[in-house]
Structure formats: structure tokens, C-alpha cells
Amino acid sequence: MRHPLAIALTLAGLMLAGCAQNVPSAVLRTATAPVEASVAAAQPERSLMAMSSQALSPISERQATVVRNVRYGRSAEQALDVYGTSERRASRPVVVWVHGGGWKMGDKGNDLEAKRAYFKSLGYVFVSTNYRLADPNVPVGRRAMHPDQIRDVCAAIGWVKQNIAAHGGDPQAIALMGHSAGAHLVSLAGTHAKYLAEAVGRVGLGSLRGVVSVDTSNYDLINTNGPWIEELVLNAFGKDRAVRRDASPLYQVDSGRQTPPFLVFVQGSAERIREARQFHDLTRQADPLQRGDQFQHVTAYNHMEINEAIGRPGERLVTPAITAFLKQMFGR
């Protein structure tokens, strides 16, 4: 039997998955191509660039290290776990994972077993971070709401840049990855230069090697469609339109400002797919080198299953695409 928290996360995820959103016409700058719902998993739209021949060995059990609950802020929720290596000068690529849960629940340890083994097999250092949650039982004014969550994620990135070398990671080779609400947060971190600059200093968005956004419906928080998603957004972002706009990755993409390459996964309704496609198209335009931005529509999994599939042995729909994307972004 699943743990009650896992059940709650599943229910919240299915709520998110079932709620489509409308993309405002003001940001429809490029035509969106129709997507066939019968396709099990869309193939990448453009061929990947040639990968580096540099070999990167997996992290062995003997070399593997785990450091839990490292504080990057004053709150107990501002903590992360590092799955690194005893090879202190290894300079391995780093993947920072941000969990989902509607911004109000979830934990850095959820659904990690397959992911931990997967990234270790790739030879990457893996970091999973918590952030302050928008607890609906806490009154507004004391509740953690935007921009608390995105500032926490960026502060975690700042900690990684400053400290990951001691865990065998390369501070110049960092990619972000998240699911659901976590996918929204990594997408915002990769497009909203202000919050990354607050935490890291004068480091541009282009310093991130890539962002993998796994099935969020929340690229636009102004135009929500359905009571469940509106309830979640209201809880974490409030009613103010300017605040919601500031928290919407779709409105933060600027063609004059470089963004990191994105790999966007989506499943669900036509509106959900259209919004994810629009966000992908805008970030692709903002990446001047177009270094492998990818979009994949997956119909074989629901909202929670797509997360559980990542790194699972023998999984063939999402894991190979993530592997190819990260190897291209890191060059190893």
C-alpha cells in the first residue's frame, strides 16, 4: 500500500493533469502545429547535435556519497540532498531536481529511487531540493507564497554553484529538472533572470546548461481553466494579476535575452498541449544557438506516471529523450 503522502500527491497531480489552461492571444507569437493525440510519444522535432566523445564513467557504489538535509536558508524547508561522489575533483555534471505537489505539498525524497540510480549510471551528481510550501492552513500574510518558492529554488541553485565541487560536481555544468509544480518552478528559474541573479549574482540564464520541464500545466498563471487548478494557483499566488504574471514562465520569455535549452514533456488535454507547445516555441526562439530544444507529447502516461517513469530500467518513452538531451547539453 502506498504511503498517504504519495496518495495525496497522486490525487493532486491528477487534478492538475485534468485541468486545461488557456494561452492568451497576446503571447501567441508563433503558429502552433497540431499534435496527434494517438501518438504514443512524439519524436524529437530536430536531430540532436553530435555528442562529445568524452567518456564519463558511472559513479560506482564505492564512490557514491549521500549528504542529506543540507541547509541553503534559514527555514527547515530550505534544505536539499546531494547524491555525489567521493571523487572530489571529478567535476561531473549536476542535475538539480525540483519536486511537484501543487506548491503546497511534496518532498525532495519522493519517487527518487529510480532517478538516483539513473543519474548515477550516467555519471552525474544529483541534487534534490525542497522549497517552502504554500500551506493552505497558514493564513495569507504568513503563508509562503510567490515569490518564496522560486527564490528558494534559485537559492538552492546558488548553493550548488558555490558548494557542489566538494561533492564531485562541476559548478559550471548545471541542468534543472522538475515535475508538475516543480516543472513550473524550473521553467520560471530558466526564464526569469531576476530571481536567478538575486541568488547567484551576475550569472545569466544561459549559464544553465538546460532545463527539463516534465508535464506542468502552469506556464500561464493568469488564465486558469477549471476550479481545481484555480484553487491551487490562488493558494500559492493569490489574486493579483501582476503577481501571477510575474510567476508565469510564458510571460517571462524575452527574445532579446538568452534562455537555456528546454526539453518540454506534456500529456493531457489539447489546451494543455497547446500552452506547452507555445512555451517551447518561445524559449526556442530565445535560444540564439538553438542547441537542441525539444518538445515531446506523451500519451502513454498520465500526469503521475510520466514522473514515475523517469529513469526506470527498460523505460523507453521519456528516459532515452532525457538522456540524449542531457548528454548533448553537458557534452558527456
Averages of pLDDT over runs of 10 residues in the chain (332 residues) are 43 41 33 30 37 74 98 97 93 98 98 98 98 98 98 97 96 97 97 91 81 94 86 97 98 84 95 94 82 92 98 98 97 95
Q: What is the pLDDT of residue 291?
A: 72
Q: What is the pLDDT of residue 200?
A: 86
> CA distances (Å), 51 to each of 107, 131, 226, 250, 324, in order?
34, 34, 43, 30, 9
Location of C-alpha cell 498541449: 273
Q: What is the pLDDT of residue 72?
A: 98
Q: What is the pLDDT of residue 54?
A: 64
Q: What is the pLDDT of residue 75?
A: 97
Q: What is the pLDDT of residue 202?
A: 67
Pairwise CA distance, residues 110 & 312, whole Å: 14
Q: What is the pLDDT of residue 77?
A: 98
Pairwise CA distance, residues 135 & 297, whole Å: 32
b/e for 220-248, b at 16 or more Cβ within 10 A?
bbbebebebbebbbbbbbbeeeebbbbbb
Contact 131, 152 (CB under 8 A): yes
Contact 325, 294 (CB under 8 A): yes
Pairwise CA distance, residues 310 & 290, whole Å: 25
Q: What is the pLDDT of residue 268?
A: 94
Q: What is the pLDDT of residue 310?
A: 98
Contact 136, 104 (CB under 8 A): yes
Contact 322, 263 (CB under 8 A): yes
Q: What is the pLDDT of residue 290?
A: 63
Q: What is the pLDDT of residue 12?
A: 45
b/e for 156-168, b at 16 or more Cβ within 10 A?
bbbbbbeebbebb
The DSSP call for residue 49 is P
Q: At what angle do helices 193-200 and 148-163 cross, to 10 degrees?
A: 50
Q: What is the pLDDT of residue 100?
A: 98
> Which stretches does DSSP call E strand in the chain?
64-71, 79-85, 92-98, 125-129, 169-179, 210-214, 262-266, 294-297
pTM listed for this prediction:
0.86
Pairwise CA distance, residues 95 & 157, whole Å: 10
Pairwise CA distance, residues 327 & 52, whole Å: 8
Pair type for strands 92-98 and 125-129: parallel
Helix, strand and coil content of the chain, in percent to the nearest 5, comes to 35, 15, 45
